[in-house]
Amino acid sequence: MAVREIIKDPDPILYKKCHAVTKFDRKLASILEDMAQTMLAANGVGLAGPQIGFMRRVCVVLDTLDNDKIIEMVNPEVVETEGEQTGSEGCLSFPDKFGMVTRPRIVTVRAQDRNGEWFTVKSHDLTARAFLHEIDHLDGHVFTEKVTEYITFDEEDEEEGEDA
């Protein structure tokens, strides 16, 4: 396992659509492990393939509702959303940039695991926000496209404190 370099804006790779994963092998497992280590080392709650230069539909998300379990999603697709939430978002590829973003409050995602087995996961609040944020990356979209108002680092800290 290795901590990889996180690609930063304005690198064009962040704006490209990823290809589906078709090979479920040791290389994929190794990349998923590296992504988890990279995300944790950067104090993130999610990381998508293009953020480390891997142009496949893979992401990892920290499930803050389940003892910080890491959810690996390969070829994820959103199958259902409910409600609405507005809160601060940041991104490891956009250091020191935070903004208010509105997303669904509850999301159900269908994805494959590292072995190619399909599963469905439903989550809400911060974890749902992270699912949607990372899946956006896989489609070449970044959170700044959805920001309604940029906020300072101090305001972002206050926003996080309210969620805790």
Q: Which member of 134, 145, 155, 160 is catalytic?
A: 134
- Please report, for residues 28, 70, 78, 85, 157, the alpha-carbon distance to residue 163 in angstroms, rounded to integers and kept in the order given: 34, 20, 24, 11, 10
CA dihedral for 142, 33, 58, 72, sign (positive or negative)? negative
- Please report, for residues 81, 85, 162, the alpha-carbon distance to residue 105 in angstroms, rounded to integers and kept in the order given: 7, 5, 16
Q: Name the 3-class secondary structure at 130.
A: helix
Q: By the 8 A CB rule, do 92 and 42 touch?
A: yes
Residue position matching structure tokens 């994805």:
111
- Asked if 33 is an active-site residue, the reply is no
Catalytic residues: 134
